[in-house]
Amino acid sequence: MSDLDLDFDSLRRSAAAAQRVAGYLARAERVSDEAAGHTGHEGLAAKVRDFGQKWDITRNGLEEALEFIAEFLASLVQTFEELDREQARALERVADAEGAGVR
């Protein structure tokens, strides 16, 4: 049987970082319309607005992906901690049974 070594602190930090970046993206202001108005050229303004709209869509997708990753990592840590506790309890029961002469 192979060993599995997980760094729960690192996974928690990664989950928190992903959640933090998702929060930054959620709070990001939409500035393309304002910036487009300052270009002085309608063709360029249209390109700026188009880019801004596409970035908003992409930013929303990235935000959702980061939230999923954060939730996944947090669930991974929780699941393995629960498994670890269950395995420890099972080993304690076996040790107690062997100490009592039960096999």
pLDDT tens sequence across 24-70: 999 888 788 888 889 999 999 999 999 999 999 999 999 999 999 99
Longest dimension (CA), the chain: 89
The answer to whether residue 2 is domain-embedded is: no
Q: Into how many domains does the chain fold?
A: 1
53 assigned to some structural domain: yes
Q: Return the pLDDT at 2.
A: 72
- Asked if the structure places residue 48 within a domain, the reply is yes
State which residues form the domain around 44. Answer: 8-73
Is 55 a domain residue? yes
- Exposed, middle or buried, 80 (CB in 10 Å: 0-12/13-18/19+)? middle
What pLDDT is stored for residue 29 in this prediction? 81
pTM: 0.76
In a domain, 3, yes or no: no
| Residue 1 in domain | no
| CA distance readout (Å), 8 to 29, 32, 46, 48, 78 | 34, 40, 48, 43, 9
Inter-residue contact 66 to 25 (CB < 8 Å): yes
Mean of the per-residue pLDDT values of the chain: 91
